[in-house]
Structure 1
Amino acid sequence: MLKSRMIKHNNISNELFNFRANLELYSQNNIISDGLVNWLPSVLEAAGISLELIDSEGKFLWVNSAFTKLTGYSNEEVYKKKINFLNSENNERESSFTSLEAIQNGKIWNGEVVEKSKNGKLLFLEQTILPINDHENGTDFFIIIKRDISGKKRIENELNETYIKYEELAYVFNESPAIGFLWAAHNGMPVEFVTENIRQLGYNPDDFYSGNISFQNIIHPKDLEKTINELYHRALIGEEKFKLTFRILNKSGKVRWVDNYLSVRHGEGGAITHFHGIILDITERIKAEKEARLKLDQLVQADKMVALGTLVSGVAHEINNPNNYVLLNSKLISKTWFNILPILEDYYKTNGDFNVGNQLKYSKIKESMPKVLEGISDGSKRIKNIVKELKGFARNEPWNKYQLVNVNQVINSAINLTKNLIEKTTNHFSIKLDEGIPLIKANSQRLEQVIINLIENSCQALTSNDQSVYVLSKFMKNENSVQILVADEGEGIPTAILNKIKDPFFTTKRGKGGTGLGLAVSSRIILNHNGQLLFESELNKGTKAIIKLPVTKEFESNKESQ
């Protein structure tokens, strides 16, 4: 590589040129003797810098010992050789051209060249070509002065390589999501360096360099105290590198989660002076982890629901067996009571009142016993019906098990199963069923499951027992569909989330045991019936859940024949 420029002089060549000119002038004017002039070769030989005497054809005439020490070539080895034999392959053409051009033009030339020493080592040299005109003999000569700058060039190359690496590192940094920071460990954490990719958070590096924003300013206010305390605690106990996780605010005020990988810098005496490191935006990771935990909770809850179905089925069976004995024996006791009643009545008339059992008077028992026996029988029948409905609810019927269904019967069954919840949450429950409603083809157990879910949601939405819940059914002849409405006067659903409530696992009742599966499953069930599940809601005024199920002509004719 050759860098050159034509100039009038440099420090070394200028001094030598002036020395020569003055020497000639002094000699011509007899200021100094010819003998002193004759000392010049000795002076040049003893100089500590490489000197070459070249003729007008660019051939060596003489070199000093500094040249020999630098290149390894003696005076005899280079005599009458062209100066370009020293040039390296890197700059042979340019160096030869420039040097010879300088010789031909008779001008002083200064530049940098790369030559090869006798042992093949590359020499980085600063070279000056100085013309000497012998007017008396009509001959031109040139002195070439060379100074070894290999050390300087090595340092320059190393600096250049370092700069290139720095530029590459800066590029990688600025194109990566990792934001580099250096801030002082005092007075609000002023930032002394930040990478350009801070712009991904909306900030400009100058926002920090100006002092308008410190590192502390971007930490979320709710995380600030905890983060600073942990930062200094870990640094003071001797941790040199560690990671902190906290929230920051981007320039628009949005919250982002970050991992901050830190290193501690110490000054004199070991005092903490700075912190430096990178921050990585992990908002999406935090969100994914939260969703994963939520899904795990949902799977656990779903597993509980499966277990609950099994439990309900088993409990229903266990309740049904002893209840059959109660129902059967209640009839036997009732029949026995009425058979012995005439005998007891005759005894009462003859002997007066008497105790029956635990100090109970016959006169009292004979009035209440029929009601007691009737209550036992009715209660047992009610248990039997509840068990039947529980078994139906727990039964895993095929999705495609459709049959002719009376919607009103399904509604009544669902109300019976949720009766306790209804009575507990509202004093105003009403039901209005269209008696002329046609049969539809449906899976009764699945349809019942949907209505139960809607009634439960309405009850849970109430904030007072004075608020009402009502259920109705209606045949919409113009739409050729059966409509089921479950409505309440509860807290209502915000408009912003109304379109999400049927999404799987979406719930506003997570803390109250909600799984977010109820409406998602209900919606799917209705869709499998080629129907629609719609919602209308007004905040603080209530919600309406509307089921629309299609009626075919086959079922319409069935209705008309009833």
Structure 2
Amino acid sequence: MKGLPDKLLNSLYKGIWAVDINNKFIYFNEGMEEITGLSRNKIIGKDLKYFMELAQLSVGDEGHFRELAVRVKDTLKPSRYHSLQFLTPEGKLSIQSGHIFPMINRDDKYSGIICTVESFSEQKIREKTFKDMLSSKKKLEDIYKNSPVVAFLCTAEKDWPIEFISDNISQFGYTPEDFTSGRLIFGDLIHPDDLDLVRMDVSKLEGEGKQFFSMEYRMLTKSSEIRWVVERSLLGFDEEKRPSYYQGIFIDITERKLAEEALLESEKKYRFIFENSPLGILNFDDNANISHCNDNIVKIMGIPKDRVIGMNMIRDIDDREMKEAVKAIFSRKSGHYEGKYRNPLSGKVTPIKADYSPNISDDGKLLGGVGIVEDITARIEAEEALKKYAEELAAANEELKTLDRMKDQFLSNVSHELKTPLTSIKGYTELISEESLGPLTDKQKEVETTVLRNAERLKRLVESLLFISRVQSGNVKYVFEPTSIAEIIDMTLLDLKIQIDQNKLNVKRRIPDNLPLINGDKDKLTDMITNIVDNSIKFTPEGGTLTCTVIEEEEYLHIILKDTGIGIPPDLIPMLFQRFYQIDATRTRKYGGTGLGLYICKEIVTAHKGKVWAKSEGENKGTEIHIQLPK
């Protein structure tokens, strides 16, 4: 500022001051002394914030001015301000307008700002008025901070660049800096479909010279959500009576707009429902007299509409429960009635359900009530028919339970009867096999092996049926003791060696030494492993591979029995462990089986507090059965 003649500056502006890059005052002319009542000596060298405190700049105006100063610093472009209010120490209210200019050094870098006051007005304020004003401003600031109303100041240029906007613009997703930085202007807030209409309305107002106006339009949030707002603004003019700035507020009225639209839609729907509803609908006033009804209520009550209108819902009704339901409305509660209603005017008896609701105005006055009445004759008849059907179904179910018990008893008896001769067949066949009764020819040995294999298979089937019978009756008993899983697997492979050799299967054993014992029932676990290995042998083509793996985990021994057999479609795996489940009839005919093996396995694993599941990548991709048994 050195070397710039005061006389020249004073001839250009009514007031001028400047701060350096650190916001310290370096210039304050006589015009500013006159406008603010503050001496140059008191200001030079002080911080800008100190000047604002002395000038009693209000919080809203202070924020506005600071935003403008930051914008000038960031953009290195001048900015205009309007109607900033200062309260001087002498009690003068000074309303100022002017420009803020950036100062740039030789390196084209920001070095401070120059602020001019181009116009101002002032008035003397008495001490009491001055104190009241400060108090009022404080109250207004507190109210404003908690208000949904957004305040703004923008210039009367194309689409209205914003110089100030209040912090609660955040309710629309924006920050004040989005606008005061120049990135957005007021026109960017307005919905594109409404922008031209707003422009036309504003141009009309400017042309007519009106100062105050109000309009409603749609606004876009930062996330492009549509909101309705109402704007109320003051148009300010410059000294030449040209539009200069807009100072106003807007508030979100989306809920009101939606409510208005919903009300119109609701009225249409209500009228349609009222006239076309299959239910009977009636309105009655605060004296309980019916004022409106639809045609269906006439059918239900069995009397003409002109006799329904005017009927009193309390005096003209004999049914005590119906009266109580209607009286509830006059206590501002809902009422409900269900029963066989006899109309006192027609004598018609109809099973009905009626719900009554109070009709309350916006100001809280009880206007009467609304009744929704339904003829439930068909429902009553259906309920009676359903009750009869339920009784018949219960009787049939009891008969089925009896047949189920007979079936289980039959299975148990037949299984026991089969087991005795099977034991003899198996025992004598083993004697023959051992040639205790004489030497055998090769052909006789082949036949004897077939008999022994099928006797063993039949024995497992009988034992499966017996197990199922005991499960159904709850008589399965387990004997838990320290048991070696490795030993059970080895014994199973040995017992099924004939079938394994006959199918020419390659058996891989991957069982670590020194596996810990588990607490289990050795016989039941042997049955379980036998069932799974037997399935693998049955469904694996000649020359396939059967792999037996045991992995020691933290809490379990994990057994994996994997084959290279025909596999299982993935969507059928969840049904594998159900009783009597088989994938399809074609497989049953080709491979045999009862569908009990995996069901029995699951029962045994569950009794041991373990887990069992199957995996298969699909048909002809083999199957894995996984078993986890607690250590």
TM-score interval for Structure 1 and Structure 2 normalised by the shorter chain: 0.3 to 0.5
Which one has a bigger Cα radius of gyration? Answer: 1
Structure with greater proportional helix content: 1
Task: Give the structure, 1 or 2, with the largest relative contact order (CA under 8 Å, sep 6 or more).
Answer: 1
Give the alignment's TM-score, normalised by structure 2.
0.30
Give the alignment's TM-score, normalised by structure 1.
0.33
